[in-house]
Amino acid sequence: MVAVVAAALVVLAGCGGVVDSPANVDSPVDEATGPSTATARSETVESTPVGTDERTAVPGESPWGDTVVVGVAGNGTRDYAPFVERATAYWEGNDSRYLGYEIDYEVRPDAESPDLVVRFVDDVPQCNDREDAVGCAPLITDRRQISRPETVYVQTGLADASTVLVTKHELGHTLGLTHSDPPSEVMRAETVLFTTPKPNATEREFPWLDADFTVRVDADGASDPDGTREQVDHALDYYRDDPEGMPSNLTFSVTDATDAEILVTFGDCGSGAASCVRTRGPDSDGDGAIETYSQVVVTLDDLETDAVGWHVGYWLAYAFGAEADADKPAPFRDAGYRERRSDWWR
């Protein structure tokens, strides 16, 4: 999932003229821009069953025979047995509806001779020529296919609900169901999955994956496009010189690409704001907050050219991990009208 966070510098009327004060930065607001999807034979989907799922399976015979003893193996200290128990309970409660036969499981993590082992691994083995699978299991439709113990693989690091759903999906394959079979909310080949909680971008010392940035300056809305680009260059040069308290060895390359990691543009920030920022990035744990930034968009709203560099520099400090003004480099703390229009980068 990708999220967007926005904040703004609000313009206040002052006796000495217009004061575009960062003291009134809005609280960040997250809004989802769409989920990321993954495709693998093991993936599940959390959704409401569609109409084609409302049917009872044709009666048949279980390829597993009587009670299926399920062992559990996993990496780390996490207890995976409850997830397997929830997944097996799902199929026991829906066997006649979707399978056409009864299935009974006995989950015994340390079983000596299990019929099936659910193994939780950091990296799922290649599955049907897919190297990005979050789970894998054999498709079993006949008892003669079974070589005990069969193994189901499920990737570690998924959130609890996603772990259960992937396990359900893989067990479904061992019961003879394919991706086109109901229930679609379990057996579908594409899904949205969430990981276990991860630190948010605002909790990280450096919220990017690397320190090499592409930069696009969209100065079409500027009164002085050349002056605007020069001002942005001053801000970039400032950070190239490794200012105190900021990450070192930052590099910037100017590009025309619209997907540049740093985008400077002109537009309406609303609420009397002189500038504002939006940050984009993945929300893989589904908590509504970005974990790492993939793009920062600095928007300038009817701003004088000689103040452009300061506003861009201010928001870059924010994007590089200094959300609070007290953590920003000196030029961006308590700067007045004249300081923002001075050669502050020197």
Question: What digits encode the pLDDT tens for the residues 58-71?
Answer: 678 899 998 999 99
How much of the chain is helix, strand and coil, in % rounded to 5?
25, 25, 50
pLDDT-derived band at 271, boundaries 50, 70, 90: confident
Residue 43 has pLDDT above 70, yes or no: no
Lowest mean pLDDT among 10-24, 91-105, 124-138: 10-24
Number of domains in the chain: 2
81 and 171 within one domain: yes
pLDDT-derived band at 204, boundaries 50, 70, 90: very high
pLDDT score at 1: 62
Residue 54 has pLDDT above 90, yes or no: no
What range defines the domain where residue 23 resides? Answer: 2-36+200-340
Question: How many CB atoms sit inside 10 A of residue 37's CB?
Answer: 12
Of 128, 158, 191, the residue at which a domain comes to its end is 191
Of 191, 210, 226, the residue at which a domain comes to its end is 191
Q: Give a yes or no: residue 178 inside a domain.
A: yes
Q: By the 8 A CB rule, do 306 and 341 touch? A: yes
Q: Give a yes or no: residue 210 inside a domain.
A: yes
Domain CATH code at residue 313: 3.40.390
pLDDT score at 17: 25
CA distance 106 to 67: 7
pTM of the predicted model as reported, rounded to 2 decimal places? 0.74
Fill in the DSSP letter of residue 195. Answer: B
105 and 58 within one domain: yes
Residue 280 has pLDDT above 90, yes or no: yes
pLDDT-derived band at 23, boundaries 50, 70, 90: very low
Q: Give a yes or no: residue 109 inside a domain.
A: yes
Q: Is the peptide bond before 183 cis (omega within 30 degrees of 0)?
A: yes
